[in-house]
């Protein structure tokens, strides 16, 4: 059972390219999308936020766009090596070393 969760967690990290910045950017974009989608409903009878529809929609739209820009900025000048984003301006020897480390990790599993 532990192996199942370990493999599942590795697949989740791979979806975010093992980058916390991309994880936070996608989370922010998802939350912004949900806020934007929910802003069309009239929630007044349930609770009052003191915000107008336009303000709520603006907050959601800004969060969504900011998340997309953050992910784009994180990916800028990077290359993907063995499922992980690394700076593009590093030496070829470093890229080779990262590939060897990843290969050794796969062999040890």
| Model pLDDT for residues 80-109, shown as the tens digit of each residue | 777 777 777 776 777 777 778 777 777 766
Q: pTM for this one?
A: 0.62
Indicate if 43 and 86 belong to the same structural domain.
Answer: no
Give exposure, 10-25, as e/b (b: 16+ Cβ within 10 Å).
eeeeeebbbbeebbeb
Q: Verify that 52 and 9 share a domain, yes or no.
A: yes
Same domain, 58 and 26: yes
Domain residues for the domain of 107 are: 77-109
Q: Are residues 92 and 104 in the same domain?
A: yes
Q: Give the span between the Cα atoms of 22 and 28, in whole angstroms.
A: 10
Q: How many domains does the chain have?
A: 2
Q: Are residues 57 and 103 in the same domain?
A: no
55 shares its domain with 82 = no
Same structural domain for residues 43 and 14? yes
Per-residue pLDDT for 33 more than 80? yes
């Amino acid at each position: 059972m532990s192996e199942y969760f370990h493999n599942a967690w590795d697949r989740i990290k791979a979806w975010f390219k093992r980058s916390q910045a991309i994880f936070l950017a996608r989370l922010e974009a998802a939350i912004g999308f949900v806020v934007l989608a929910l802003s069309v409903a009239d929630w007044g009878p349930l609770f009052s936020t003191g915000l107008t529809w336009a303000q709520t929609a603006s907050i959601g739209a800004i969060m969504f766009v900011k998340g997309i820009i953050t992910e784009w900025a994180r990916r800028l000048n990077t290359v993907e090596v063995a499922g992980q984003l690394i700076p593009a301006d590093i030496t070829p020897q470093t890229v080779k070393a990262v590939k060897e480390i990843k290969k050794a990790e796969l062999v040890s599993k």
